[in-house]
Structure 1
Amino acid sequence: MLDVLPVFSGDVRITRLFTLIPGSDFGTDAFSAIDALGGRTVPWSEACDDSYDLIVAASPKGDLRLLRGPRVLVPHGAGFNKTIRSEGSAHAASGLDPAYLRRAHDHAPAALHALAHPEQVTRLATADPRAARRAKVIGDLTLERVLASAPLRERYRAALGTGARELLVLASTWGPESLIRRHPGLPAQLAAHLPYDEYQLALVIHPNERSSLGKYELAERLAPALDAGMVLPDPHEEWASTLIAGDALVTDHGSAALYYCAARDRPVVSVHPGGGELIPGSPMGVLLDRIPRLESTGNIAENIADALRAYRPGPGHAAAQAAFAPVSDAMDRLRREVYALLGLAPPGHDVTPRLLPSPVPAPRVPAAFDVHVVTGAAGVRITRHPAGTGPPGHHLAVEHGAASERLARSAGLLFRRPLPPSAAPVDLAWTADGWTRYALSAYPGCRSAAAVLPDGACLLRMRGHERAYSVRAEPRSASGRVTRIDPAIGLSAVHAGLTSHEPAADGRTTLNCLVGERTFHITLRPATNAEAEQVI
């Protein structure tokens, strides 16, 4: 509805009211979404007592016939891909079920059945020939928003904190065959096995599943993955901007995958075995038949990587073409139709798809990492995993002031980032050298202590070494783009190097730090007095 209603934008003759048809198991959050926007809602009992110039609905289900006024039916989701066995007619596509279409039609036929593809008109004619007479191919307004917002991809990735990492999105529909029901441990498995500095994980989950569980219960069930940095975007708009930001998708049979494929042909893998709710020959059926399938969740990271490598461009584009046509002007088409039903001339100004908002999911940033180190001829390879999600590594790197005292006391490398400016009338702060000396004294199990300086360089002091060191990870520049690493990664590389080798006599060393496919140069030298006295 929120993608459709902007066709009336700027028209002072139109008043928009919202009501919810009783009977849904998932209506709890619907009014919350409207309330968050400041929309005016009307109780169902009151809505049935009045008459309206136009009624816009996204489903023929429920007692829609009790509302008085010409009706416009618009589909929700991309295509008609699922059959819901617990309701309506057996094997009928949800949204095209003759049991609901005919009941509504017998009372008062829909004035317009807006569809996204000519094939959908054919399917509607099979389900209810009378309803098909009032059907028109309008297009998909959600798709128009996705395509219009595609140039904002880098902005969305910045909001998510993705950086140069690969963003792997899990897309789950609702119900017993959904990813989140069939593979509830998959998010935590991926979060534990995928290197934190190379991959970011996001879960796009159907609003019905959120409504069924509640935000708190869902967050508690997903806590291991969320604590490891997984993103859980808002289900009403941010899901779409997260798909635009994504580099690869793991999907069940939910239609969110089709919007992902329509935006750009990027790798997609399936965790749905086929059959069940999935309708053969539907757009999602077309997609899932042609993309790699994750057969096992045993060695999850390796299996996902193999499946993504096996993807070849083409299936995503073909599935999107089966779901969406035409791919532009849907808003203008719908605007002409609904204003004709109202008997009004549209306003003189143009309406365009509203750009999707940036995600604001506030992902949790791990404050402690098991750091795995492999030293070779090319340099020191650093692979970090959130602490406790897998086997211990070469050392435990912990951010002091952000992790628990238990983790701090177990750290091999303890580091501190600059604090935000204080509003205290009389402030108290550490110098970089003062804090590193304090940390080595207060935490006897700590081998190295480091302070990240405001300019991104670090001051590191190692137990048993007389001097403090300046550590800087140099940015990597290629094709006009600059890639930087978290200073804590460079600290782990230097910590590993100093643990096994003494520095050069003058204390100056350059080492290569390998993170995924990238190599960064780390410079190590004796710290200056000015660096040691910097306030952190």
Structure 2
Amino acid sequence: MQPPVTSGDSPRAAVGTATADNRRTARTVLFAARSATALHRLLDVLPVFAGDDRIARRFTLVPGSDFDAEALTAVERAGARTVPWERAGRDRFDLIVAASPKGALGALDGTLALLPHGAGFGKSLPGEGTPGVASGLDPAFLLVDGAPRADRQLLAHPDQLTRLARASAEAATRAVVVGDPTLERLLASAAHRDRYRAALGTGARRLVALVSTWGPESLLARRPTLATELSGLLPHDAYQVALVPHPNERSRLGSFDLAQALAPAREAGLLLPGPRDEWASLLVAADAVVTDHGATALYAAALGRRVLAAYDGGHELIPESPTARLLAAAPRLETAEALPALLSGPVAPGVAAAADAAFARRGGVLAALRRELYALLGLTPVGPPPEPETLPVPTAPHRAPAAFAVRAVRGVTGRAGEAGEAGEGERVAVERHPTWWAGPVRLFAAEWGVAGQRHVQSAGLLYRRRACAERGAGAHRATWTVDGWIDAALRDHPGCATAGVLLSGELALVRARGGRTLALELSPHAADGRLLHTDPAAALAAAHVLLSERPHARGPFTAVIGDLPFPCVLREAGAEERSRTV
């Protein structure tokens, strides 16, 4: 490796050879990203250089992509140094790291290391490069005048090296298998699964993530209403639905327009994670993934998640690629209604095998990357072995629906109690759906202070959470007591049959019109050493059903919420409880 050339030796000046305080910087590494996806791949490489003050890290945006609008947002948010493309083309760099062979990389001067753009090399874009060959393995992009463009091509699996050798023996001479650094982050974060689910408000529900690639054959293009269909169909207390769109789709549509297009599903609780880190945290938290022919599902398969196929075929999927094997092995989701049954079936053994065909060197990827990249820099690594950065806890708040259409059924499976007491076997099963659900409805429930006026006026059950009480910063404020608010709610909303206040996750006060204020105690569901909690507003709906049929009901009953039984008790509320402020 030749040392960097100074400005006196060449028109191209070496970048970063001295800092402002004249301390010499040994090497400058330029991370050249063409899109947000490529940039995110490059950011996962950064731990390789952690702790080494000899390395100056710079980023630039390679022009020519239709999806570069948000490419440098994450870098700028982190405060990293960027180099305008015009400047990057004039300077010399000790090492250039890129995750796509496309674009004007030839305008940059420096040793080039090329990483995969994604997982598995499973897509080929019609009209671009060699038909049927993924761009990351395509000699049309990897060779310049018959010689390899990259000084080192870093692959994730030996099968990729075999495929590359078939496509271009010349390019294969510069390739080496190191594994996938993005998968390393996911695997390193697996122990944080409970924290991610808590941040997402998942609880005991099944989290189903829809993952969509980009382009005309993507899930968003072919089945754009699937997220809304699932959000409306699946009971809110049994399932949580998320959509993970490809960054190119975000760039094409814009985050605002995408959110607006999904507004009904988001009002029903759909999660829409951010493109950097949050999608991966959500994948760790998920129970199942519904996928098209994008590579994200390979990461889910590597994590051991259940995978369902929702790809209708086309010209982009490369036969015999790991993604093609995954889709062939995974059960197919034909309709939204079929999802619960598919989630109850056995996990297809070929799903894990497809992931094994895409990822190698698990657990040692960063060490292998460091070895290769430092060799290109002509430096000896310093410091301890690199560790993958664990994924952050999701910070985007999940949107809990404020109004529901409630389906509820009361049944008695045990001996009825005396003097109006509920029997020990009395059960009320509750399913909560969006207000626009087309199925049978027992009642509408709305959260006061959060739901819109139309839903509040039509609610048979009106409730509020104590945490939603207004608390001004100054001395002048007004508060309600529990009984005072229930009085006002029933007085001001003639259509409301029951009003309640959620004081905590285990206690609510409730009153049916014409009745007394009762305390509703809700216990968690115990299973395998874990205590599973549910939204007490769902238990409040069960109490509404019970009191509407048996106004003097008291004592224990079971609320079946999300297919799980939760022990409940209805009793007379004490004076102290009724006078609490909300």
Say whether the 8 Å CA contact 2:208–2:286 is kept in structure 1. yes
3-state SS, counterpart of residue 7 of structure 1: helix
**In structure 1, what is the Cα distance between the partners aligned to 2:525 and 2:309?**
35
Residue correspondence of structure 1 range 324-363 to structure 2 within 5 A:
324-363=359-398
1:415-468 per-position Cα deviation (integer Å, ceiling 9, x unaligned): 111126442213310000011011111111111111122574122121122x21
Residue correspondence of structure 1 range 251-266 to structure 2 within 5 A:
251-264=291-304, 266=305
More deviation in 119-128 or 204-213?
A: 119-128
**In structure 1, what is the Cα distance between the partners aligned to 2:126 and 2:114?**
22
- Using a 3 Å threshold, how does the CA distance of structure 1 residues 24 and 363 change in structure 2: closer, same or farther? same
**In structure 2, what is the Cα distance between the partners aligned to 1:511 and 1:207?**
48
1:474-529 per-position Cα deviation (integer Å, ceiling 9, x unaligned): 2222332112222211111111111112325xxx3221111233111221111111
Tell me the residue number matched to 1:376: 411
3-state SS, counterpart of residue 325 of structure 2: helix
Tell me the residue number matched to 2:557: 511
**In structure 1, what is the Cα distance between the partners aligned to 2:492 and 2:321?**
64
- Using a 3 Å threshold, how does the CA distance of structure 1 residues 72 and 104 change in structure 2: closer, same or farther? farther
**In structure 2, what is the Cα distance between the partners aligned to 1:423 and 1:455?**
26
3-state SS, counterpart of residue 70 of structure 1: strand
Q: What TM-score do the two structures reach when normalised by structure 2?
A: 0.88
Deviation at 1:333, TM superposition (A): 0.7
* AA aligned opposite 2:124: T
1:168 equivalent in alignment to 2:208: yes
Tell me the residue number matched to 2:123: 82
Tell me the residue number matched to 2:230: 190
Deviation at 1:130, TM superposition (A): 1.3
Say whether the 8 Å CA contact 2:217–2:314 is kept in structure 1. no
3-state SS, counterpart of residue 94 of structure 2: coil
**In structure 2, what is the Cα distance between the partners aligned to 1:304 and 1:344?**
53
Residue correspondence of structure 1 range 416-495 to structure 2 within 5 A:
416-418=464-466, 419=469, 421-454=471-504, 456-465=506-515, 467-495=516-544
**In structure 2, what is the Cα distance between the partners aligned to 1:47 and 1:167?**
44
* AA aligned opposite 1:463: R
Deviation at 1:377, TM superposition (A): 3.1
- Using a 3 Å threshold, how does the CA distance of structure 1 residues 137 and 405 change in structure 2: closer, same or farther? same
3-state SS, counterpart of residue 53 of structure 1: strand
**Alignment match of 1:214 (pick from 251, 254, 259):** 254
Q: Which runs of 5+ in 2 are unaligned?
A: 1-41, 414-426
**In structure 1, what is the Cα distance between the partners aligned to 2:505 and 2:176?**
59
3-state SS, counterpart of residue 95 of structure 1: helix
**Alignment match of 2:217 (pick from 171, 174, 177):** 177
* AA aligned opposite 1:41: T
* AA aligned opposite 2:256: Y
1:240 equivalent in alignment to 2:286: no
**In structure 1, what is the Cα distance between the partners aligned to 2:190 and 2:434?**
31
3-state SS, counterpart of residue 258 of structure 1: helix
**In structure 2, what is the Cα distance between the partners aligned to 1:66 and 1:528?**
78
Task: Extract structure 1 runs of 4+ deviating beyond 4 A.
Answer: none
**In structure 1, what is the Cα distance between the partners aligned to 2:577 and 2:189?**
44
* AA aligned opposite 1:389: W
Say whether the 8 Å CA contact 2:52–2:383 is kept in structure 1. no
* AA aligned opposite 1:287: L
- Using a 3 Å threshold, how does the CA distance of structure 1 residues 308 and 480 change in structure 2: closer, same or farther? closer
Q: What TM-score do the two structures reach when normalised by structure 1?
A: 0.95
Say whether the 8 Å CA contact 1:60–1:104 is kept in structure 2. no
**In structure 2, what is the Cα distance between the partners aligned to 1:214 and 1:21?**
20
Tell me the residue number matched to 2:19: none
RMSD value, Cα? 1.5
1:98-150 per-position Cα deviation (integer Å, ceiling 9, x unaligned): 111113764x7421110011111111112221111011111111111111111
**Alignment match of 2:171 (pick from 127, 131, 140):** 131
* AA aligned opposite 2:313: G
Q: Which runs of 5+ in 1 are unaligned?
A: none
Say whether the 8 Å CA contact 1:64–1:104 is kept in structure 2. no
**Alignment match of 2:574 (pick from 518, 522, 528):** 528
Q: Identity over aligned residues, as a percent?
A: 49
Tell me the residue number matched to 2:34: none
**In structure 2, what is the Cα distance between the partners aligned to 1:383 and 1:404?**
21
**In structure 2, what is the Cα distance between the partners aligned to 1:503 and 1:243?**
47
Say whether the 8 Å CA contact 1:473–1:485 is kept in structure 2. no
Say whether the 8 Å CA contact 1:172–1:251 is kept in structure 2. yes
**Alignment match of 2:134 (pick from 93, 117, 139):** 93
3-state SS, counterpart of residue 249 of structure 1: strand
Greater share of strand residues, 1 or 2?
A: 2
1:128-185 per-position Cα deviation (integer Å, ceiling 9, x unaligned): 2111101111111111111111111101101111011000010111111111110000
- Using a 3 Å threshold, how does the CA distance of structure 1 residues 431 and 105 change in structure 2: closer, same or farther? farther
**In structure 1, what is the Cα distance between the partners aligned to 2:349 and 2:169?**
34
* AA aligned opposite 1:369: F
3-state SS, counterpart of residue 333 of structure 1: helix
